[in-house]
Amino acid sequence: MSYIRTNERGWIDIISSGDAQSLWTRLYDVISRHSSVRTFLSFGKAPSDGLTDLRADLTQDLVLRLIEKDRFRVYLDHGYNDETVEHELYDIELPNLVSLQLRKRFPESYRLARRISKILSSSPEFQYYSADRPGDGNRRSESSCKLVLKVYGLAWWPQGKAVKDEQLFPELIADVAFRRRNNRNAGRGRQSQLIITNEDLNRLIVEILAAIDSPADVRTIRALALSKLPVEDSRFTSIDAETVSQKPDNPKMTRVDLPDHRPTPEEVLLAKETAWLAEQAAADLILSMRNEVLNYCHHPGSRRGFGNRHCY
C-alpha cells in the first residue's frame, strides 16, 4: 500500500539533495495523518492550536532517531526507493516512536494493554473471530492485520455470534467488580508494581466478555478491562506550566500561579539571629543564677567544691 502523494517530491530526491526543510515538512505531514499519532495526541486533550506544537515535537524526535541510526545514509547506500522509505517510516519507525512515547507517559496502562493482548491471543478461554466470518460483512476486511482491530470472544461461543454495538458495553459491565491493586513489587530492579496477576486478569476479561455477551476487538476489550483496574499513570508537571481551561467558552491557556509558603532568605537569616540571641540570653541567665547560689559541684576525690565559679 502506497502513502505517497503524486504532487510531492520523492523521499530519495529530498534526502540526496540535503533539503532539510522539505524533509522536515514531509515528516511532519506523515505524522499529521498517521492514525496512531492521532490516537496518541487525543489522550492529552490539548486544544487544536496546541496540536501543532505536539506534532512538531514528535517530528523532532523522529528526525533525531533517524539521524542517530543513520537511516538516511542507509536509504541511499542500499538503493531504497520512495515507496520502501515511505513504508518503513509509516509502518515501522513512526509506530515504534509512538510506542516509546506511550511507554513513557502511560507506563502502567501500556504494560497492561500488552498483557491483555497476549492473554487474548494465548489463553484457551478466548478465540479469534476471523474477518471473513458469516454476518460480519467487510467491516474489518482491510484492517484485520492490525492487532487492535482483531476480534476475540469466549472459546465456547459459536463463530457466527453477532457483535453488539460497543456503545452499550460500559453500561453492560457495570456489575463487574472493580479490582483492588496488587502492591507486590515485581520487575527488574523491583521498581514496577504487579497491579494484577495474569490469572486474575484472565478472569476479569472472561467476566467482561460474559457481561457484554458479544465478541469485541482488542482495543475495546483493553479499554473495558482498564476501566476496572486501579491504574496510576501520574506525571510530574511544572508549577509554571500552562493548563487548558475546561470551559468551552474559554479555550485559552491559563497560567496557575501557586503561592510559595517557603520562608524568604531574609526570614531565614532573622530566624537564625533570633535563635542565637535566645541562646545567649539563656546562657547569661544561667550564669547570673549561679552567682546567686553556692555554686556547688562534686569533683571525684573531693567532698566539697564551694567558691569555684568555673565549675559547671
Q: Which pLDDT belongs to residue 289? A: 87
Q: Is the confidence at residue 299, as pLDDT, over 60?
A: no
Same domain, 117 and 216: yes
pLDDT tens for 215-259 read 999 999 999 999 999 988 766 656 555 555 444 455 555 666 667
| pLDDT single digits (tens) 185-194 | 665 556 667 8
What average pLDDT does the segment 293-300 reach?
58
Task: Tell me the percentage of the chain whose pLDDT exceeds 70.
Answer: 74
8 versus 177: which is more confidently predicted?
177
Q: In this prediction, what percent of the chain has a pLDDT beyond 90? A: 48
Does 210 lie in the same domain as 148?
yes
Does one domain contain both 20 and 88?
Answer: yes
Q: Which domain holds residue 173?
A: 109-226
Residues 134 and 212 in one domain: yes
Flag whether 292 is in a domain: yes
Domain annotation covers residue 6: no
Average pLDDT, the chain: 81
The 3-state DSSP class for residue 271 equals helix
* Mean pLDDT within 100-104: 88
Q: Three-state SS for 128?
A: strand
> Does 174 fall in a domain?
yes
**pLDDT at residue 174, as a whole number:** 93
Beta carbons of 121 and 234 less than 8 angstroms apart: no
Mean pLDDT score, 65-69: 92
Q: Determine, yes or no, domain membership for 122.
A: yes
Q: Are residues 207 and 299 in the same domain?
A: no
Q: What is the pLDDT of residue 105?
A: 86
- Examine residue 204 and state whether it is found in any structural domain, yes or no: yes
Question: Which residue has better confidence, 242 or 35?
Answer: 35
Torsion angles phi and psi, residue 184, rounded to 5: -65, 135
pLDDT the model gives residue 132: 56
Q: How many CA atoms within 13 Å lie on the side-chain side of 161? A: 20
Per-residue model confidence as pLDDT tens digits over 15-24: 999 899 999 9
- Under DSSP, the state recorded for 2 is -
Give the integer Cα–Cα distance in Å for 178 and 166. Answer: 20
Please check whether residue 253 lies inside any domain of the structure.
no
More confident residue, 81 or 243: 81
137 pLDDT exceeds 50? no
**Higher pLDDT residue, 238 or 99?**
99
Residues 280 and 213 in one domain: no
- pLDDT above 60: residue 296: no
Q: What is the pLDDT of residue 5?
A: 57
In a 3-state reduction of DSSP, which class is residue 299? Answer: coil
Q: What is the pLDDT of residue 119?
A: 95
Domain boundary pick from 104, 136, 159: 104
* Residue 194 φ/ψ, nearest 5 degrees: -70, -35
Domain boundary residue among 104, 126, 155? 104
* Listed residue (234, 258, 233) closest to 108, CA to CA: 233
Could you tell me if residue 241 is inside a domain? no
What are residue 186's DSSP bridge partners?
192
For the segment 143-158, the average pLDDT, to the nearest whole number, is 82
Q: Do 153 and 117 share a domain, yes or no? A: yes
Of 104, 120, 137, which residue constitutes the final position of a domain? Answer: 104
State whether 87 and 33 are in the same domain: yes
In a domain, 91, yes or no: yes
Helices 107-122/94-105 angle, 10° precision:
120
User: Does residue 127 share a domain with residue 98?
Assistant: no
Specify the number of domains making up the chain: 3
DSSP single-letter state for residue 254: E
pLDDT of residue 35: 84
Predicted pLDDT at 188: 58
